Chains A and B, each alone.
Chain A
Amino acid sequence: MSSSNETAFRLGLYRTMLVIRVVEERLAKSHQRGMIPGACHTYVGQEAVATGVCAHLRDKDAIFSTHRGHGHALAKGMHPRELMAELYGRETGCSRGRGGSMHLFAPEIGMLGTSGIVGPCILQATGAGYSFKLMKQDHVGVAFFGDGAVNNGAFHEGLNMASIWKLPVLFVCENNQFATEVPFESVAGNPSIAARGAAYGMHSVVVDGNDVVAVAAAAEEAAGRARSGGGPTLLECKTYRTRPHSEGMGDFTYRTREDVEHWKALCPIKRFREQLLSEGSASASELDAVEKEVIDLTEAAHQFAEASPYPSPDSATRHVYAPARASALREGSVQSTKPRELTFMKATLEALSEEMARQPEIFVLGEGIGVRGGNFATTSGLFAKYGPERLRDTPICERGFVGLACGAAMSGTRPVVDFMFADFVLDAAGEIINQIAKIQYMSSGRLEMPVLLRGCIGIGHAAATHHSGSYYSMYANFPGLRVVVPSNPRDAKGLLKTALTCGDPVLFLEHRELMGTKGDVPEEEYYIGFGEASVVREGTHVTVVALALMVHKTLAAIELLKAEGISVELIDPRTVAPLDSETILKSVAKTGRLLIVDEAFGPFGVGAEIAARIADSGFDELDAPIRRLNGKPSPTPYSPPLEAAVVPSIEMIVGAIRDLCAE
């Protein structure tokens, strides 16, 4: 760098730190005046870290942060007015009023988001690193987090994955010595954070976090290493926040005024100004001019934000899902000339294989999905074709790799998480529910979340309680998720194809007892849209809604009931979210009777939802109460007679239909 460039660079650092400081102080004032309806965590005292790290980042580099993210957003290039408008809850805010202080999104400049949850940003940056490596881009993923996050599983799982796959990631820990009011020493077995990075075989550096030049230098080296394939770096930046944890909170129960005054004296901005002056890089009047410009900029931003309109209430639920993509090859439009018999599993393998060939951004994460080809042969043969980067065997860290998938989806790839059994992924529930499901909305539709989460569900094979749960009702409860529960090979393939081409996160839940079952699958390519129930059997006396294995059991029951002259219409919703209640209603309008057969638990389940919707929109169609037949609400027992007792049997279905018809 030439010396004039160097001077400009240093003045830039100075200005950025000032922007953060002045904006934060203005926000603190606004908070005090009640202009910020929610929380406000300022970055005062830590400006050198965001400024130093972002100094060497480009727009395409992706940063992720936590609750204390204003400084990161500004340092990455967000205009102060977008930040302020967001905190004031305005339409012009960076998240269009959906987020506030803890949910800042500006994907246009590589600010992929901050989170109100401590930890996930570490996994998301790891996922961005995975995307960049897979797509052979020389961008880096950066996670900013506090000392509080290093005791969280996300830190350990993320650092380990980044290290083993040499991902281009910077883990920037801002050790400000407290997590809210808890001193780091009191919760750290080994108070050296850098040492934890070393434990995962990672370059780890301790930096004076109040020295912007030192931070910038360390970040430059780390970013360079990452871009050139040298893998991740952990930067432990020792710093201190000089305002309370959050505006309005008391500050002196856990630290003293003297402590705070001591650190104020070490203010990174004051320190850098003195340095610039003593080096002769800039004159006092030059620096004063910068300061004046920043104050004016901030004031103008505040005025802009204050004058901005609030978002329209009728936009409140916009952007929960990605815009629908219409496929030309819809199920109905495909006439199969040569239907073949395939197993359920082979049909899904075909779908995955076709889409992987078409979309180089698809990669699969899971345990034993590489060379082995998956516990249920879900990826059989793909490793040989696509190699380890696209068929990634993971450590057993479900939360970690689901969080990684989240960050990957945010940064341009399409992860498929193959978690074998749905039970395992509960360890990642937070990543799915709090992050994956919410990011499209929180980013006001500027990020899509094409994540496929697949695994098997269902009772059978004496699998006992940790290999048999059906969790679709739970997932369907959360806006932002698509939940698919196919019952046959044809549907499974068509639905998986849609899952692999849509912009939404999809839970693709495959019943274990169906994986080996066979059925006709068209040779031609086809897609089955979500929210399109299938009428499996037409009938007139009673409507039965069933999913997955229960579709087959109900079909057997229908055969038995034929002799009694009972005619059953069987509907398979195929997707629980979205749920096609229209088709069910149409059927109930014909039959007047509705039974929902569901292997999963009754309380608060999909049957309850269907019943409520039909009772609401189809009240006058009903000739009898809506009935549900569910699995017993208990953990799944192991012993075969016990296991059988908790699942609806063909006999029970026959009885339930018969009783309902006799009502």
Chain B
Amino acid sequence: MEEGTFLEWLKQSGDSIKEGEPLFTLESDKAAQEVESTDSGILHIPDNGPRAGTVVKVGAVLGYLLAEGEAPPVEAGEVKPETAPANVRDEVPQNSVAVGVPARFSSEGAATISAPASPRARRAALAGGIDLSAVTPTGSSGRIRERDVLAAQMERDRSGVKWVDVPTSATRRLIAERLERSVSQTVPVTITGRCDATGLVCLRNQLKAVEAVPVPSFNDMIIKITAGALHAHPKITGRWAGSSIQFPEAVHIGFTVETEEDLVVPVLRDVASLRLSDVARRSKELIESARSRRISSSEIRDGCFTVTSLGSFGVDAFTPVIQFPETAILGVGAISREAVSLPDGSIVSREQLTLSLTFDHRAIDGATAARFLQTLRKRLESPTVWLFND
């Protein structure tokens, strides 16, 4: 909490206050509480002290506890709703203790109290779509006035675009929920690494040349090689279950398909048991049924790992979001020709690819993930070996 609404003094100016006695009530987080004095002394409430309904910041000076015979501060300054002026504290007499909003309230989270608002302000808030709890009253009464609402509205209009409401689809809301769950329930870390994709490109060109049916996409090839790498690094598919980590018997790999409306993640089952041509055929089918919205729920279930690609958009590296409850996701960047300096110092033109791996740090250490990424890169640089040796 940063502020509260002052309700009333429980003591009067001139009352002798003992430590621990309730001093005033303050409304915070929808509950009114009595605030106890942390010191003893004679209460002095300045003329411009807070009125019922004034919103006061933590640390604001509301009154003074004076020692016997001590004069109250000469000019205490107004208790401003926004901040306690620094000079107020300076003027506190030597022995006196400022009675204010105790800091312990500040640990209680954000306040959602709204100050009382004039009827006109309420009407303006309604018309302008302004949330009164986010409006700061600036008048002497502590009440939100129309001008406060208009100021908030102007601020909003200046700081952003005008928002137009377009309703979301149920799928989109589901995706949003899943993504939200992913980031809130995992500890995601993303690492990236580059590899030489010249071999991949050559291989694909050869398959095209021999009119293989179907011609596997780079994604198909990467998925197939990833399956092998996951086999070598099973920890990457291990799911965090608190007291244990769970490992799948077979590795099913999902891949993202963008449809007209949203994102679908079909799952290729037990990729290790599939030949590249099977992967290519199956993925083609899944893509088609995803795009024609015929995909069944069993075809998007049980993924252990996901491959997602933004390569076709020229994106190199990014931070993919784990398909919760999976543990890691591989982001595939664009394959592009770049100048590469070889160990002998000669500069050649090669196909380059950047991989981004996001993993749940709870289940996987950085080194483990890095090792997996390294295996993957190596294998991708010699694709024929890893694609056709089984």
Contacts and interface: CB of A to CB of B under 8 A. Distances in A.
Contacts of B139: 624, 662-663
B120 interface: yes
A618 B143 CA distance: 18
Nearest to A541: B147
A659 B145 CA distance: 14
Nearest to B145: A623
B145 A663 contact: yes
A592 B147 CA distance: 10
Given A620-B120, A621-B120, A624-B118, A592 B146 contact: yes
B119 interface: yes
B120 A663 contact: no
Interface in B8-50: none
A622 B118 CA distance: 7
A200 interface: no
A622 B141 contact: no
A624 B140 CA distance: 11
Contacts of A624: 118, 139, 141, 143, 145
A556 to B, nearest CB: 24
A229 B119 CA distance: 69
A478 interface: no
A622 B119 contact: yes
Contacts of A659: 140
Most buried by B among A621, A622, A623, A662: A623
B146 to A, nearest CB: 5
Interface residues of B, number: 13
A663 B141 contact: yes
B143 A663 contact: yes
Contacts of A620: 119-120, 122-123
Interface in B121-172: 121-123, 139-141, 143, 145-147
B75 to A, nearest CB: 19
Contacts of B140: 659, 662-663
A621 B145 CA distance: 11
A619 interface: yes
A592 B120 contact: yes
B152 to A, nearest CB: 15
Nearest to B144: A623
A589 to B, nearest CB: 9
Contacts of B119: 619-623
B91 to A, nearest CB: 23
B155 to A, nearest CB: 19
B150 to A, nearest CB: 11
B329 to A, nearest CB: 54
Contacts of A621: 119-120
A663 B139 CA distance: 5
Interface residues of A, number: 10
Nearest to A589: B120
Interface string A616-634: 0001111110000000000
Nearest to B142: A663
A621 B119 CA distance: 7
A86 B118 CA distance: 53
A579 B121 CA distance: 28
Interface in A587-645: 592, 619-624
Contacts of A663: 139-141, 143, 145
Contacts of B145: 592, 623-624, 663
Contacts of B121: 623
A208 B382 CA distance: 147
Contacts of B143: 624, 663
A624 B144 CA distance: 9
A620 B123 CA distance: 7
Contacts of A592: 118, 120, 145-146
Contacts of B147: 623
Contacts of A619: 119
Most buried by A among B120, B141, B147: B120
A619 B118 CA distance: 9
A620 B147 CA distance: 14
B142 to A, nearest CB: 10
A592 B150 CA distance: 13
Contacts of B120: 592, 620-623
B121 to A, nearest CB: 6
Contacts of B141: 624, 663
A18 to B, nearest CB: 70
Contacts of A622: 118-120
B7 to A, nearest CB: 19
A89 to B, nearest CB: 45
A539 B220 CA distance: 75
A620 B119 CA distance: 5
Interface in A511-558: none
A295 to B, nearest CB: 69
Nearest to B139: A663
A214 B351 CA distance: 143
Interface in B227-249: none
Nearest to A661: B139
B151 to A, nearest CB: 13
Nearest to B126: A620
A619 B147 CA distance: 17
Nearest to B138: A662
A42 to B, nearest CB: 59
Nearest to B120: A623
A593 to B, nearest CB: 9
A372 to B, nearest CB: 54
Contacts of B123: 620
B139 to A, nearest CB: 5
Most buried by A among B118, B141, B146, B147: B118
14 contacts: A592-B120, A620-B119, A620-B122, A622-B120, A623-B145, A623-B146, A624-B118, A624-B139, A659-B140, A662-B140, A663-B140, A663-B141, A663-B143, A663-B145
Given A592-B118, A623-B145, A624-B145, 17 more contacts: A592-B146, A620-B120, A622-B118, A622-B119, A622-B120, A623-B118, A623-B119, A623-B120, A623-B121, A623-B146, A623-B147, A624-B118, A624-B139, A659-B140, A662-B140, A663-B139, A663-B145
Minimum-distance CB pairs A-B, first 7? A623-B120, A662-B140, A623-B118, A623-B146, A663-B141, A592-B120, A620-B119
